[in-house]
Chains A and B, each alone.
Chain A
Amino acid sequence: MPEPPRDLLPGTPGDVADELVADSLAGGTAIGGFETELAAVALGPEGRRRKGLGIGAWIAIGWMVFIVGVAVLAQLGLLPVGSPTNVVASCARKGPFANDGTASGYLLGCDGNGRDMVARLAYGSWSSLVVSTGAVTFGFLIGGFLGLIAGYVGGKIDTVISGAFNVLLSIPAIVLALALVAYLQASTKGVSGNQSGFFHDPKVILILAIGVVSVPLLGRITRASALSWSQREFVLAAKAQGARNGRIMVREVLPNVLPAMFSIALLGIAVAIVAEGTLAILGVGVKPPTPSWGNIIALERGNLNSSPHIVFEPAILIFLTVLALNYLGDVVRARLDVREAGI
């Protein structure tokens, strides 16, 4: 199984996770003393492949459960927070530690229009997570399908599909996503004057745009993995027993390829969250007043001096979520690596 291609994900914060692992190992050495150091040396780079998940993975899982829970509950209206669009003008730009009494009810302060930051962030996490998981799911399905066919069938079909992937990869990801958003917005406006349809939802447009960008990333991983698994003897054995190609692809090759796809998909969600924020700052993200982590930053990025909390709060959420996803992606890859787990 190939290494998830860090080099294919420009700007992937994948190294952050590695550093975290390195830090945790180093920290263990300092605290646990000589024995831990010996263990760390003996285990070497494989040290994280141990029986349990490890504390880091549990923290990451806990964080993701928290964020997803908040997003879902907020969207269902079950979260005890105010409305994200309710304006209290007197609280505008008040930070979380404002002492003048005006913003006392707001844990994280208010944004530039005097809206509760807790509510904004809670509802915003829904937008960010829907866009990122939706986009990666799109890439996972389309890229996975194409990659599986390219890797298993090979030949001219592989040449065409891989060529298409390379063309998409050669365009800078953000430029491609911007162009796609612009194109999709223009073309959906042309369909009808009705602005409330499924394809007019800015989130759907973002999902499609970021999804298309993620197709070649997931597709190439799938192709490389499917290629190596297709040459295994059990594929030939299945063929010798009269199995059809489709059956071999779905039942023999795909289950072996999925771990690689899942681990890269987790990293992909992290990248997509950042991409949503980037597109928001460039002005084509989720449309206000619907909040998303990206557009909260985008709206107030000019007021970093006077009210930094409005930018930093969503930025910290993005950072922690990306970190957690990267770490989990690494854990999944290490644990589900069937080849090295001993066939």
Chain B
Amino acid sequence: MTAAGDGHAPVASSPAPPLLDVRDLRTGFETDRGLVKAVDGVSLSLEAGRTLGVVGESGSGKTVLSRSIMGLLPRRGTVREGSVRFEGTEISHLSPKEMRAYWGAQMAMIFQDPMTSLNPVMKIGAQITESIREHLDVSRDFADDLAENLLASVRIPEPRRRLKEYPHQLSGGMRQRVCIAVALACGPKLLFADEPTTALDVTVQAQVLDLIRQQQDERFMAMVLITHDLGVVAGRADEIAVMYAGRIVERASTSVLFADMKMPYTEALLSSIPKLGEPPHSRLATIPGRPPDLVNPPPGCKFAPRCAYVQDRCREEEPPLLDASPGHQYRCWFPVGTPEGAAAFERNRRAGLVAAAAIAAEPVAAGPAAAPPSDAAGG
């Protein structure tokens, strides 16, 4: 995560480099207004077989981060700096031609919307075998058998028949299973799941997430699970990185993050999850305001305009990533759950700051540590 970031990983003593090591990755898009800094100095590392949850609201740079790591962004108009190491090999400067050896075979991606990430005029079987035949030197029959096994392993009934069907003949959940099968086809070591359940019914979400988890365990595959929903990563990620305005603002192992969050943004995200215990028709908690302009970001902390704890210092000086405990970093001058933070919050509440008033109405979130969602402990 940071320069000293490897120290927290459970296998840190191993001399082998981490599966994925990203350092100070910056990705921007040239526009008429100027450079949009979508990813601004992100560092992270991921060991084989582990899961990193990347959480943030729309426009926080989650998707750009994953595509930038994979090198899938269009070259034209994109500025990309920093280092991406995969199994110790620097891949950030490789051409698309050289990256093709990694795409599909070493790292794969599941996209958000299964409605648009399958080709409507190609049979399911052809879409799965396409990458198998590209990367593995196997016969057509063998690839077909492999595709059938893959469909069976993502629990699609009658896989042999489905191979000959078109995407429109499948339901949304089935299509996302097909997308998972496509991504898994060549046995990648690293899987990016970019909001894999956002387009699905809530009833299917858990099934698909469990399926991804199960496949991950069977294949000892590392995963970057991107989502805007803390509830999705709570039980499934080993570590969580919270992104805001293209930066990581808090990073910790899942249990630590939910038990001892330091960043007001994390707290605000958590308190905006509706809770079952609330009476009907209660007002849903929101984070007031909107993410900052990424062309001309304000000085100081990027979250300051929306923060319940904001002080003058936050508007002038950007906090660096500070260590709370080994493996737990945050970016805040007045962190949640500290005397400074409590004092800052109290000052704002008395002054009638909108953000503070919104959080004060939330009995859970105003405390030093918000209760994690029920399945958080398992993470």
B135 at the interface (CB under 8 A from A): yes
Of listed A236, A241, A342, residue having the most chain B CB within 10 A? A241
Q: Are A242 and B103 closer than 8 Å at their CB atoms?
A: yes
* Other-chain contact of A233, B104, B117, B134 (Cβ < 8 Å): B117
Report how many A-B pairs have Cβ atoms within 8 Å: 80
Partner of B109, one of A154, A240, A255: A240
Q: Which residue in A154, A239, A251, A342 is a CB contact (below 8 Å) of B103?
A: A239
**A209-259 interface with B by 8 A CB criterion:** 232-234, 236-244, 247, 251-252, 255-256
Is the CB of B31 closer than 8 A to any CB of chain A? Answer: no
- Which chain A residues lie closer than 8 Å to B186 at the CB level? 241-242
A338 closest partner in B (C-beta): B120
Is B38 an interface residue when CB atoms closer than 8 A count as contact? no
Chain B, Cβ-Cβ closest to A343 = B120
In the complex formed, the residue of B with least CB distance to A236 is B72
A155 within 8 A of B: yes
Q: In the bound complex, how far is the Cα of B72 from the Cα of A338, in angstroms? A: 27
Whole-angstrom CA separation of A23 from B120 in the bound complex: 34
Decide: A155 and B76 in contact? CB cutoff 8 A. yes
Asked whether B119 lies within 8 Å of A244 as measured between CB atoms, the reply is no
**How far is A154 from B183 in the complex, measured between Cα atoms in Å?**
27
Check if A242 sits within 8 Å of B101, measured CB to CB: yes
Complex contact A237–B117 (CB within 8 A): yes
Give the complex CA separation of A343 and B76 in angstroms.
30
Asked whether A241 and B116 contact (CB < 8 A) given A155-B76, A252-B122, A342-B168, the answer is no
- A233 to B131 CA separation, bound complex (whole angstroms): 16
Known: A240-B109, A243-B130, A251-B130. A234 touches B103 (CB 8 A): no
- Across-interface contacts of B226 in A (CB, < 8 A): none
How many chain B residues touch A (CB < 8 A): the figure is 34
Q: Judge if B307 is at the interface, Cβ distance under 8 Å.
A: no
Q: A236-B72, A236-B111, A343-B167 are in contact. Are A241 and B183 (CB under 8 A)?
A: yes
Q: Does B113 contact A (CB under 8 A)?
A: yes
Q: In angstroms, how far is the closest chain A Cβ from the Cβ of B354? A: 37
Q: Bound state CA distance, A154 and B75, in angstroms? A: 12
A241 with B103: in contact, given A232-B116, A233-B117, A236-B72 (CB under 8 Å)? yes
Closest chain-A Cβ to B105's Cβ sits at a distance in Å of 6
Mark out the residues of chain B between 87 and 142 whose CB falls within 8 Å of any chain A CB in the assembled complex: 100-105, 108-109, 111-113, 115-122, 126, 130-131, 134-135
Give the distance in Å from the alpha carbon of A342 to the alpha carbon of B104 in the complex.
Answer: 28
Of residues 250 through 306 on chain B, the ones whose CB sits less than 8 Å from some CB of chain A are none
Contact across chains for A252 and B131 when beta carbons are under 8 A apart: no
Which A residues are in CB contact (< 8 Å) with B359?
none
B72 contacts across to A, CB distance below 8 A:
236, 239-240
Is the CB–CB distance between A237 and B109 below 8 Å? yes
Known: A155-B76, A243-B131. A234 touches B168 (CB 8 A): no
Contact B108 A241 (CB under 8 A): yes
A327: shortest Cβ distance to chain B, in Å?
A: 25
Whether A241 and B113, one on each chain, are in contact in the complex, defined by CB atoms closer than 8 angstroms, is no
Please provide the chain A residues from 289 to 343 with a CB less than 8 Å away from any CB of chain B in the complex.
Answer: 338, 342-343
Q: Output the residue of B111, B121, B185, B186 with the most chain A CB within 10 A.
A: B121
Chain B residues in 8 Å Cβ range of A255 = 119, 121-122
A338 vs B115: C-alpha distance when bound (angstroms): 13
> Is there contact, CB below 8 Å, between A234 and B130?
no
Find out whether the CB atom of B134 lies under 8 angstroms from the CB atom of A252.
no
Instruction: Check: B70 CB closer than 8 A to any chain A CB.
Output: yes
CB distance from A156 to the nearest CB of B (A): 10
Interface positions, chain A 94-136, Cβ under 8 Å from B, are none
Write out the residue numbers on chain A whose beta carbons fall within 8 Å of the beta carbon of B112.
Answer: 233
Interface membership of B179, Cβ < 8 A? yes
Contact A242 B104 (CB under 8 A): yes
Could you say which residues of chain B place their CB within 8 Å of the CB of A241? 103-104, 108, 130-131, 134, 182-183, 185-186
- Contact with B120, one of A154, A238, A256 (Cβ below 8 angstroms): A256
Other-chain residue from B76, B121, B126 in contact with A256 (beta carbon distance below 8 A): B121
- Residues of chain A within 8 A of B108, CB atoms compared: 240-241
- The answer to whether residues A242 and B105 also contact, given A233-B113, A342-B168, A343-B168 and a CB cut-off of 8 A, is yes
Q: Are B109 and A238 touching (Cβ within 8 A)?
A: no
Contact B111–A237 (Cβ < 8 Å): yes
Would you give the 0/1 interface string for B132-160, flagging 1 where the beta carbon is closer than 8 Å to chain A? 00110000000000000000000000000
One of A154, A155, A256, A342 near B119 (C-beta < 8 A): A256
Interchain Cβ contacts under 8 Å between A and B, 25 examples:
A155-B76, A233-B112, A233-B116, A233-B117, A234-B118, A236-B72, A237-B109, A237-B111, A237-B117, A237-B118, A237-B182, A240-B70, A240-B108, A240-B109, A241-B134, A241-B185, A242-B103, A242-B134, A255-B122, A256-B121, A338-B120, A338-B121, A342-B168, A343-B167, A343-B168
The 10 closest A-B pairs by CB, nearest first: A242-B104, A241-B131, A241-B104, A242-B103, A233-B116, A255-B121, A233-B117, A237-B117, A343-B120, A234-B119
Residues of A within 8 A of B (CB): 154-155, 232-234, 236-244, 247, 251-252, 255-256, 338, 342-343
| Other contacts beyond A237-B118, A240-B104, A251-B122: 13, CB < 8 A | A154-B76, A237-B182, A238-B130, A240-B108, A241-B130, A241-B183, A241-B186, A242-B102, A244-B100, A252-B122, A255-B122, A256-B121, A342-B168
